[in-house]
Structure 1
Amino acid sequence: MDRPRFQSPRFLILYALAAAGGAIAYVPFLTILLPMQVTSLVGSADVEWLAYCAFAGAVAASIANIAFGWFSDATRNRKSWMLAGLGLSSAVLVSMSHARDMETLIGLIVLWQVFLNMMLAPLAAWAGDCVPDGQKGILGGLLAFSPAAGALAAAIVTYPGLAGPDARLVIVAVIVAACVLPAILFGAPTEFPELNRPTASDEKLIQTTETARSVVVRMWLARLLIQISEAALFAYLYFWFRSVDGSMTDSSVARIFSVILIASIPVALWTGRWADRTGRPILPLPVTAALGSAGLVAMALSFSLETAIAGYVLFGIATSVFLSLHTGQTLRVLPKPQTRGRDLGIFNLTNTGPSLVVPWMAIALVPVFGFSGLFYLLAGLALLAAFLLASLPRPR
């Protein structure tokens, strides 16, 4: 009997570095550099124009991710798309500083999102081509580095006195290239032909269409529900903390957020490794979703800063681990290797879609029921995600 083969640690580490580079490509720009540029262009009208930027970018990213995932499926050449996307998105990012009006800036943002997803979509599918099921838990754990890397990069490029607005964009582009290129040039992954063998019209395909489709739909819905909760907290966290304790500052909230991102890394790594060793790849997902729901309930009930922080820490770590591990296990449940990139693009809608929904939820609930009403609703969504995943069949 053949021993099971595993992907090399070198490739896994370099892939995790490339994934972190993907996060660095957009986190500093969208969270800090873009808002600063919008304010410099339009002054007090910055909130409205930033919303237009976010909407246009989200639509472009959603379409481009599906399209370039599909193109990389058709050509069976992930690396060329990744290299082209890296170069073109970096060039457009650096040119952002030359925009002199909002119409030009929005046009560049749309173009940048298209080229960025030319890199990100094949990068995501590449993991499915190279990482066997027995290592998808540890892959998910390694992906927990990505959000922390994005936040760290944002802190570095905005460090006082380090660089001006134009140079900051160049620094981001250089860091992204330094993270992504080693995997492309030196990753040399072990090949697993069985991971990329097209499905045939046989009993396995019948099982795929009847059973795996339900699994995929539940995985997609569960991620969407958790991402809605994450997006709502990301957008309104500062305002909520201020409502609990007026002494809270933006730097205090940023520190709490950073601690959560860092703490989630060892938890995700340990949990992913446990899932691989025990053959229970899905189990951590409903557990972490339920813990995230509990954290939201604790936040809704909080009347002191200490309990508010405790509830948010529970929610933040649980959902960060959920999203990292979910990404790895999504590669396990997608039924057709020949359309892996396209299907991951459809899953990517769970990342971009919530930003279009959350503001309307907050507008409808917060003025009437306060933040507690919003948190109770989000807790219900997270608990629904846990139920959707708890009933999934155990993979063989």
Structure 2
Amino acid sequence: MNAAPTDTPPQRQSRWFLALFALAAAGGAVAYVPLLTVLLPQRIADLQGGEDVAALAQVTFLGALMASIANIAVGMLSDRSRTRRPWIIAGLIASNLLLLAVGRAESVAEIVVLVMVWQVALNLMLAPLMAWAGDCFPDEQKGVLGGALALSPALGALAGSLVTYAGLVAPEARLMLVAVLVSALVLPAVVLGKGRERPALMAPVLRTREPRPFRQRVVARMWAARLLVQVAEGGMFAFLLYWLRSLSPDYPENGAANVFSAVLVCAVPISLLLGRWSDRHGRPIQPLVATAVLCACGMLVMAAADTLVLAIAGYVLFAIAAAIFLALHASQTLRVLPAPQHRARDLGVFNLTNTVPGMVMPWFTVLLVPRFGYGALFVLFAALSLASAVLLAGFVRRR
């Protein structure tokens, strides 16, 4: 691969823009976490007169499928237009309007259609937003950018708690509050970020005749490593409460939610420290290897746990490590993508590691746990996390 020549190296971004971009990325999480985890299941229950797991599974699966396709397609369009901010604003407006429409749906069939269209609009915002980071932040800031991205799942979880907090807002106004929060988080970076792109980071890369270049193998390793950790993280996200109640039948529902939120909040400062360390020492992959190994350790503790205290300790270790891994991986992916002119499209391919596990892991877990128990599932997840670490460690050695 040969890059087009540039006159000057890319300049570092100021801290204020880094902070605004982190908030904008968190706005993307706030756009979907409260809806998919709390508000959508409740809306389906209201329409059906009770919990309907099949209807929720259908909405989730079709929505994830549409998100996978839309992220790649929108990414290609924003690459071709060589601009990001207009797409982000259009996606913000469209997704907010469709979010409000979900609250007015009168049937599950209508919800299915609206959520599928909403996923397209949401990815109209998310796909160019993450590609914009690659246009703006040089490699020397990729680590601290990844640390800042850990804010996204934390604020997403906190937003879910906020909009459902008793007495704060009426149930019919919750989706409006979500739309307001998303707008407040996304718009400052988009409005004030004009001209923050770095031409050296957007210069097209010309292909050579080199067979299977090293960078493409690095991309494949990065993709597979993230997928393996996402499978483990997605499986735990879906069945955490059920597992804890298998150890303690009286474990409260809000207990799992509180542990989940606390873990994500704790991951933010650690991610920032590790990201800054990787920038200063020029070692972008080492924190990923370390956190993947810690994910496996946490899973093995969970597999061996026979008390609630040990179980929660193992989960906390796993969940903090996984949150750090996914945040730092998201920014370091921008470092290894082979062609800036296809950055958003390639990020859409990486986005499959987020959506595919959510579509397949719940069904896989249902087949595995009744026969072998949760311990076997956790050992499998630990093996996947170790495989992720091996993939990335091999890349470090070859560098």
Is TM more than 0.5 here? yes
| 1:109-188 → structure 2 map (5 Å cutoff) | 109-188=115-194
- Work out whether 1:329 is the aligned partner of 2:332: yes
The 2-side partners of 1:394 and 1:119 are apart by: 37
Identity of aligned residues (%): 52
Which segment drifts farther, 307-316 or 4-13? 4-13
Quote the Cα distance in structure 2 between the aligned partners of 1:246 and 1:115. Answer: 41
Q: Choose the corresponding residue for 1:80, options 74, 86, 109.
A: 86
1:208-287 matches, within 5 Å, as: 209-287=212-290
Could you report, residue by residue, the CA deviation over 1:216-274 in whole angstroms, capped at 9, with x for unpaired residues? Answer: 01100110110110110001000100111123111111111111011101110000000
Give the whole-Å Cα distance in 2 for the aligned partners of 1:37 and 1:305: 32
Query: How much has 1:157 moved relative to structure 2?
Result: 0.8
1:39-58 equivalences in 2 (<5 Å): 39-44=45-50, 46-58=52-64
Q: Secondary structure at the match of 2:213?
A: helix
Structure 1 segments, 4+ long, off by >4 Å, are none
Instruction: Check whether the contact 1:289–1:319 (CA below 8 A) recurs between aligned residues.
Output: yes
Q: Over aligned residue pairs, what C-alpha RMSD do you find?
A: 1.7
Whole-angstrom CA distance in 2 between matches of 1:305 and 1:384: 28
Contact 2:10–2:138 (8 Å) recurs in 1: no
Q: How far is 1:4 from its partner?
A: 7.3
Corresponding residue for 1:316? 319
Aligned mates of 1:46, 1:165 — CA distance in 2: 19
User: Which stretches in structure 2 are left out of the alignment for 5+ residues?
Assistant: 1-7
What's the offset of the Cα at 1:311?
0.4
Task: Please name the residue that 2:4 is paired with.
Answer: none
Give the match's secondary structure for 1:353: helix
Supply the distance in 2 between the matched residues of 1:235 and 1:216 (Cα, whole angstroms).
28
Residues 1:286 and 1:324: Cα distance change in structure 2 (over 3 Å): same
CA contact (8 A) 1:8 1:190 kept: no
Do the aligned partners of 1:11 and 1:188 also contact (CA within 8 Å) in 2? no
The letter for the 1-side match of 2:269 is P
TM-score of the superposed pair, with normalisation by structure 1: 0.96
Return the letter of the residue paired with 1:125.
A
| CA distance, structure 1, for counterparts of residue 215 and residue 207 of structure 2 | 15
Distance 1:240 1:249 in 2: 12
Paired letter, 1:333: V
1:350 to 353, 361, 364: 353
SS at match of 2:52: helix
CA distance in 2 between counterparts of 1:134 and 1:92 reads 38
Q: Structure 2: how far apart are the matches of 1:258 and 1:200? A: 44
1:282 and 1:394 in contact (8 A); partners too: no
Partner of 1:162: helix, strand, or coil?
A: coil
Offset at 1:189? 5.2
User: Is structure 2 residue 18 aligned with structure 1 residue 9?
Assistant: no
Q: Does 1:63 align with 2:69?
A: yes
Shift of 1:188: 3.9
Question: Across the two proteins, how many residue pairs are aligned to each other?
Answer: 393
What do residues 273-327 of structure 1 show as CA deviations (whole Å, max 9, x unaligned)? 0000000001111110010001000000000111111100100000000000000
Deviation at 1:201, TM superposition (A): 4.2
